[in-house]
Amino acid sequence: MAIKKRYSNPLGRGLDALISTEAVRPQGSSTISEISIEQIEANPNQPRREFDEEALNELANSIREIGIIQPITLRQVDDNRFQIIAGERRWRASQIAGLRAIPAYIRTIKDENVMEMALVENIQREDLNAIEIALAYEHLLTNTGMTQEKVSERVGKSRTAISNYLRLLKLPAQVQMALQNKEIDMGHARALLAIDSPSLQVKLFKEIQKNGYSVRKVEEMVQKLKNGEDIVSGKKKIASNQQMPEEFSTLKQHLSDFFKTKVQMTCSANGKGKISIPFANEEELVRIMSMFDKLKEQ
Which residues participate in catalysis according to the annotation?
88
The whole-angstrom separation of Cα 3 and Cα 163 is: 23
The whole-angstrom separation of Cα 26 and Cα 36 is: 26
Query: Is the torsion defined by CA of 104, 109, 112, 114 positive or negative?
Result: negative
24, 141 contact by CB (below 8 A): no
Q: 289 by DSSP, 3-state: which?
A: helix
List all residues 6 or more positions away from 240 whose beta carbon is below 8 Å from its beta carbon: 200, 224, 225, 226, 227, 228, 229, 230, 231, 266
List all residues 6 or more positions away from 235 whose beta carbon is below 8 Å from its beta carbon: none
Helix (H) or strand (E) holding 137: helix 130-143
The whole-angstrom separation of Cα 139 and Cα 273 is: 40
70, 59 contact by CB (below 8 A): no
The whole-angstrom separation of Cα 228 and Cα 265 is: 8
221, 213 contact by CB (below 8 A): yes
The whole-angstrom separation of Cα 217 and Cα 223 is: 10
